[in-house]
Amino acid sequence: MEVRRRVLRPAPAGEPLKPKQDPNSQQQQQPQQSYLTNAVFFGLFFSVAYFLLHRWREKIRTSTPLHVVTLSEMAAIVSLIASVVYLMAFFGITFILHPFLNSRSSPDDDIDLDIPKLPVPTPCPAALPPKLPPPPLPHHDEDIVLAVVSGSIPSYSLESRLGDSHRAASIRREAVERITGRSIQGLPVEGFDYDSILGQCCEMPIGFVQIPVGVAGPLLLDGKEYTVPMATTEGCLVASTNRGCKAIHVSGGASSMLLRDAMTRAPVVRFNSAKRASQLKFYLEDPLNFDSLAVVFNKSSRFARLQDIKAAIAGKNLYIRFSCTTGDAMGMNMVSKGVQNVLTFLQSDFPDMDVIGISGNFCSDKKAAAVNWIEGRGKSVVCEAVIKEEVVKKVLKTSVEALVELNMLKNLTGSAMAGALGGFNAHASNIVSAVYLATGQDPAQNVESSHCITMMEAVNDGKDLHISVTMPSIEVGTVGGGTQLASQSACLNLLGVKGASKESPGANSRLLATIVAGSVLAGELSLMSAIAAGQLVNSHMKYNRSSKDITKIAS
């Protein structure tokens, strides 16, 4: 066994020999120095970080530019950087100091060794926690299906482990049939781009549902013609909307007005007392504080712009409704990020605030709620048209007087008798749902997007019909979600609202909202005319009945 030796150099003549130092004493001094250095840098890091955060908050409140720094702030920034570099090196993140570490010489560089260095011992493998890799996937699809059925391979991991979304869907589909014992032969799996939905639209797919898409139009709205795509399985819906578009077109077209554009999110926070909750309510609704809160909120996105804050109190719980524009996106995620920024900012002045949930249903999303009917959510639109008397008679097969009376007794009085909430219309949700499915919108938001009141009135000495629809909460977007899928993107392109508007951010989504309202106007006009003329049952019996033997198809 070779022994490592240090070659001693003789001391120069006349120089006394120094006493040999005890290595144990050096090892005891080094930890003490290390602890002291660590304490200094830790204290420096937290103190300057607190100082800079405090100064940053004061600048936001006083509208001072963040890039304007004083000498004390410059010194604090330099100290923060130095402490970060030291702490990163201390915790083993030495890539920053890598050039300096390589340039430093080791203690043994000036020592002549006659024998090679011993290898550095590695940790015992038994001391490290075992990392078991996932079992390798079988090569054949049949073996993978059996593994999914047995539970040894999770179904949700197929995409990531196979690296082939289409193959994963096919294998999962076969596994579902074997587990349930039921056939899904009518559900197609071929001909769909599963990579386009991975991680954003649908998890664990086994196929896709086919919904036929029809077109209604041209819809003459604000001087332009639009061919409206509608995805539906209901007979007569597209044909009826198309008839309404024709009546509007030959009467000179419809006009629309965007009343408001503001998506909402309302977190719920709790305090120890109602008094403290009231103090935050007064703080949020004070106009003097709005600019500071808007700066914090708007950092979440270059398109998010805070418009309004309203708070409602229930005991010691506070519901805060934030409203903001979101560009061409529907914007729920964008608003949520902005709300989170504001809540973090408020924690400094209200440390006793307990955030119960980022959404407290005061928003209110995907639920029929009076707050959306009154305050609006998303895009608030009113659309109107004047239908000439001869068009009412020849195209709609009814009269102005019959339509006005039916609208009053059905859409207004009848809905009031039913206690309707935003449902003062004939079938607005029919058109909203069909357009939403065709253009990749969230179909669940049909609930509040279908809030609509239809008004009809005889004008021009009782000869012509004035019809309008007012829809306070149309929630649409032209980017994100299902709008980027191929079929839905094609329908948006048909309307001329695909993607984000480069000239005016938000213009495409606002235009889509007005097209939805115009389509609803056409659908309301046609259906109400069919009911007034007694054509509803006959048309559905003709167009909404299948002559096929369903029992044979099912078998």
DSSP assignment of 216-231: EEEEEETTEEEEEEEE
Residue boundaries of the structural domains of the chain: 141-197, 213-261+377-543, 267-357
Cβ proximity of 481 and 442 under 8 Å: yes
Number of neighbouring beta carbons within 10 Å of residue 519:
30
Do the domains at 213-261+377-543 and 267-357 have one common CATH topology?
Answer: no
Number of neighbouring beta carbons within 10 Å of residue 487:
17
H/E element, 27: helix 23-61
For 468, residues 6+ apart whose C-beta sits below 8 A from its C-beta are 382, 383, 384, 385, 454, 455, 521
Please count the residues of the chain: 555
The pLDDT tens digits of the residues spanning 147-198 come to 999 999 999 999 999 999 999 999 999 999 999 999 999 999 999 999 999 9
CATH of the domain spanning 213-261+377-543, picked from 3.20.20.210, 3.40.190.10, 3.90.770.10, 3.40.920.10? 3.90.770.10
What single letter denotes the amino acid at residue 375? E
What are phi and psi for residue 430, nearest 5 degrees?
-60, -50
Cβ proximity of 512 and 495 under 8 Å: yes
Q: Is residue 545 pLDDT above 90, yes or no?
A: no
Token pair of 33 as six digits: 């120095």
- Give start and end residues of each alpha helix (H) in 201-354: 237-250, 274-284, 287-298, 332-346
More confident residue, 80 or 13: 80
The pLDDT tens digits of the residues spanning 357-401 come to 999 999 999 999 999 999 999 999 999 999 999 999 999 999 999
The pLDDT tens digits of the residues spanning 104-130 come to 444 444 434 444 444 545 555 455 566
Q: What is the pLDDT of residue 542?
A: 60
CATH of the domain spanning 267-357, picked from 3.90.226.10, 3.30.70.420, 3.40.190.10, 3.40.50.300? 3.30.70.420
Bridge partners, 318 (sequence order): 269, 313
Averaged pLDDT, 484-488: 95
Task: Provide the percentage of residues in the chain whose pLDDT is more than 70.
Answer: 81
Token pair of 406 as six digits: 């039916």
**In Å, what is the CA distance from 260 to each residue of 17, 267, 471?**
90, 22, 11
Q: How many whole angstroms separate alpha carbon 348 and alpha carbon 367?
A: 33
Enumerate the active-site residues: 234, 366, 442, 540
Mean pLDDT comparison of 87-96, 146-155, 222-231, highest-scoring range: 222-231
Q: How many whole angstroms separate alpha carbon 271 and alpha carbon 281?
A: 12
Q: What is the pLDDT of residue 29?
A: 54
Q: What is the pLDDT of residue 190?
A: 95
Q: What is the pLDDT of residue 28?
A: 52
pLDDT class of 349 with cuts at 50, 70, 90: very high
Alpha carbon 286 to its chain's center: 29
* Ramachandran bin of 291, using left for φ above 0, alpha for ψ from -120 to 50, beta for the remaining angles: alpha
Cβ proximity of 145 and 41 under 8 Å: no
pTM of the model: 0.74
